[in-house]
Amino acid sequence: MHKGIAISPGIVVGVAYRVDLVFGSTEPQKLDDPEQVPVEIARFDRAVVQSAAELEAVVTKVAQQLGKSEADIFKGHLQIVNDQTLLAKVRTLIQTQQLTALSALQLVLQGYAATFARIEHDYFRERMADVRDVISRIGSHLTLQSPLAHAAEHHSAASGEEPVILVAQEILPSQAMSLGNLPIAGIVTETGGGTSHAAILARSRGIPAVSGVVGITDDVRSGDLMVVDGREGLVIIRPDREMTAAYRKLQREFFDLKDRLVLNRDQPAESSDGAHVELLANINNLADAQAACKVGATGVGLFRTEYLFLTHQDVPDEEEQYQYYRQIIEDSPNRTVAIRTLDLGGDKTVPYLGRRNEANPFMGWRSIRLSFEHPRLFERQIRAILRAGRHGKVSMLFPMITTLEELHQVNKMVEEARRNLRREGIPFGEDVKTGVMVEVPAAAVCIDAILRETDFISIGSNDLIQFLVAADRDNAKVAHLCEPLSPAIFRVLHMVFQACQQTGTPVTLCGEMAGQPRSVLTLFGMGLRRFSMSPAFIPTIKALLASVTTAQAERFAHQVLQLKTSEEIRSYLTARLREISSTLEVLDSA
């Protein structure tokens, strides 16, 4: 039994499939027949040629879109993909050890990683990231799809009736998006916390997941039966017959409850005394928008546009962004979408914007700060969003605003984009509202000044919590400090809500707290009426709100604001949730 961080509630019993970060298997795969060697080398050479052609196109496009200095990164990648020493190493491994091209690439990558790890110099560490990018690019051409998706799909077909549980060291942003709708029933990772990409993927699909399980990839083998308890944060490898039967029963009960809750999709979202609430969806792509419609969301409260960029080999131009945003809007509930501008940086990086070795990248050069550094890129995204605004009720949301000066700069750029579109005769949405993500404590403290300069705000509780407690939410050693049920976070949120009520400014909370029943009881009691969450959580929160009166929730909130510790708040809200609905308690993380 392993204990980790509960990141998506639920229970599943299934077979494990262990995957590597870059490639579909951690064990070298040999060719079935020595006569396949020449064919495999030819296949590898084709992948190299395809990668080189792709990189040449990227160099041209990035130079046009962003500038020559950004394109230099890909010129470096071209040099690597044409490096005869690297290519010869791969061909030799295929020939002498009769390995598949993908396995040979993996061994070469491991060799380079070991060499670069011995060099204590930032420049060479950055070059290793470039080597990894290039080898991954060649590998993706070999598989003709995401290596991680290929692995999961292959194992799913071979595993028969048992659900597949993905076990990985980490899941990267681009990999999380490429997994799409593959039949994965659970996720377990060694790294990452409640807001990692594995967590976002798991919650958007409503599947149990646990992260921060140190050593799991060493202890589990592909094909092992395992249990994932995404409520308690437990992972059990090779359970005995009695334990397996007990967890299978819990699994059936969990999914039966979820199936029943989805039936409320056409019911209004309101408390038992008739107070109306908007339940919105957080989405990353088209599939999420469609899922939001199926569960009865009234709109999209947060569309994370960075995943379009993360899954692209180069920078999407204005027209491509416009068409993609338009499609998202047309497939979203009530064509109502809050589009967040790029929130890159931290663990979400794209090579064409460069890499920085920062001691703490989550509090460094990321998000709106990165957009200001690349104004041409930022301007194109603003224009694309404004143009897409003709096709629905669209608003534009700016992440990680820290100071009033930043907000002034953003507003100026939006007005300039509007003037340019009018001058060029390009139609756009004249009524697109602009809003601010409140996720930096400085913005929360100065909320009165922010509210005078914006149409609405959305609270990003994930970042707000980690910045407030000075703890990296994806670091397993300090993740316990990123506790949403804490006196500090509730006091800050109460202050922001009161300021918004006084000015009549619309406010949404779009962090993970919005989908957690105990948090929602308090937030609703504080006066919040707009919640945005992973689509899979909407039926649960709708059922919860229908079970509580406004007066009850206000009493809960008043009491929470008097409590002094997170443990006191957790115990109090757990008891209240149990009183209201013991069945819904199983859908909240421990």
Sequence ranges of the chain with CATH classification 1.10.274.10: 34-143
Q: Give residue for tokens 């420049």.
A: 123
Q: Is the dihedral of CA 350, 355, 357, 358 positive or negative?
A: negative
pLDDT for 195: 60
What is the C-alpha to C-alpha distance for residues 78 and 95, in angstroms, rounded to an integer?
25
Marked catalytic residue, from 2, 77, 197, 374:
197
Nearest to 280, CA basis, from 1, 533, 15, 578: 533
pLDDT for 31: 84
For the chain, which ranges sit under pLDDT 50? 21-24, 145-147, 157-158
Q: What is the DSSP letter of 67?
A: -
pLDDT for 496: 97
- Whether 500 is a known active-site residue: answer no
Q: Give residue for tokens 């604001």.
A: 561
pLDDT for 106: 84
pLDDT for 22: 42
Sequence ranges of the chain with CATH classification 3.50.30.10: 2-23+147-259
Which CATH number, 3.30.70.920, 3.20.20.70, 3.50.30.10, 3.40.640.10, labels domain 2-23+147-259?
A: 3.50.30.10
Q: Which residues pair with 282 in a beta bridge?
A: 302
- Whether 510 is a known active-site residue: answer yes
Does the domain at 34-143 match CATH 2.70.50.60? Answer given as: no
Q: How many CB atoms lie within 10 A of CB 89?
A: 17
Q: What is the DSSP letter of 269?
A: -
pLDDT for 564: 96
pLDDT for 123: 58
Q: For 443-468, how does the pLDDT look when each residue is reduced to its tens digit (9 = 90+)?
A: 999 999 999 999 999 999 989 999 99
pLDDT for 181: 52
Q: For 508-521, how does the pLDDT look when each residue is reduced to its tens digit (9 = 90+)?
A: 999 889 999 999 99
Sequence ranges of the chain with CATH classification 3.20.20.60: 276-583
The values of phi and psi at residue 529, to 5°, are -125, 5
What is the C-alpha to C-alpha distance for residues 491 and 526, in angstroms, rounded to an integer?
10
Q: Which residues pair with 276 in a beta bridge?
A: 270
Give the CATH H-level superfamily of domain 276-583: Phosphoenolpyruvate-binding domains (3.20.20.60)
Marked catalytic residue, from 2, 141, 494, 510:
510
Apex 218 CA angle, 212 and 220, nearest 5: 90
Nearest to 15, CA basis, from 224, 237, 238: 224
What is the C-alpha to C-alpha distance for residues 576 and 553, in angstroms, rounded to an integer?
10
93-113 burial string, b = 16+ CB within 10 Å, else e? bbeeebbbbbbbbbebbeebe
pLDDT for 328: 97
Name 51's Cβ contacts closer than 8 Å, sequence gap at least 6.
Answer: 81, 134, 137, 138, 141
